[in-house]
Amino acid sequence: MASAQKSNTNILVEGANALMLDIDYGTYPFVTSSATGTGGAISGLGLSPFKIKHIIGVVKAYTTRVGG
């Protein structure tokens, strides 16, 4: 990541978890162990927030769960 950022290479990040699974904002106890939003991608991947030019969010209007 560091070398890609230094060379101004485009980086595409995809997240499979949503805010309802976020450790801080999700519906406890059905959460994951980390932050799932943009901030989680920045800290988890070591991205510089100053180098982000575009964020595209895709959402659905309802909550679903699997299993149980």
| pLDDT per residue as tens digits for the range 35-66 | 888 888 888 899 999 988 888 888 888 877 77
Question: How far, in Å, CA of 44 to CA of 35, rounded?
Answer: 9
Question: How far, in Å, CA of 58 to CA of 17, rounded?
Answer: 12
Helix (H) or strand (E) holding 45: helix 38-45
Q: What one-letter code names the amino acid at 63?
A: T
Indicate whether this model's pTM tops 0.85: no
